[in-house]
Amino acid sequence: QVQLVESGGGSVQSGGSLRLSCAASGYWGSTYCMGWFRLAPEKKREGVASVDSVGSTRYADSVKGRFTVSQDNAKNTLYLEMNSLNPEDTAMYYCAWRTAPLHGLTCARPEAYMYWGQGTQVTVSS
């Protein structure tokens, strides 16, 4: 059973930066998708960034050029570097992993993921 724990959230001013971490425990096998999603009040869940089994990354248009997803396999940890933050980035951020082949699913979609963390809050003030 994979357990995911996010950290690194907080409150920053517009233009600031944060680095989120997602540490996995209970599993050291292959991962097929690792992703970051966010949920803000009165908004739909948004896929922020993802990385697949060959290291290909995908970003939401709203964060391209500002956010970077990366992984440290030795530490079993996924990161999200967030720069030039603005109030629209305020949300609860969740990481998610998939540990089985995709079978036609895509890492950009939340239904592809098998395990989810509890989330870390990011608040950006203007």
Residue 30: what pLDDT?
87
Condensed to tens digits (0 to 9), the pLDDT of residues 90-106 reads: 999 999 999 999 898 99
SS (H, E, C) the chain: CCEEEEECCEEEECCCCEEEEEEEECCCCCCCEEEEEEECCCCCCEEEEEEECCCCEEECCCCCCCEEEEEECCCCEEEEEECCCCHHHCEEEEEEEECCCCCCCCCCCHHHCCEECCCEEEEEEC
> Which range among 59-68, 81-90, 101-110 shows the weakest confidence by mean pLDDT?
101-110
Average pLDDT of the segment spanning 19-33: 92
**pLDDT at 27 exceeding the cut of 90:** no
Residue 29: what pLDDT?
84
Residue 73: what pLDDT?
87
Residue 98: what pLDDT?
95
How far apart CA 18 and CA 3 sit, in angstroms, is: 23
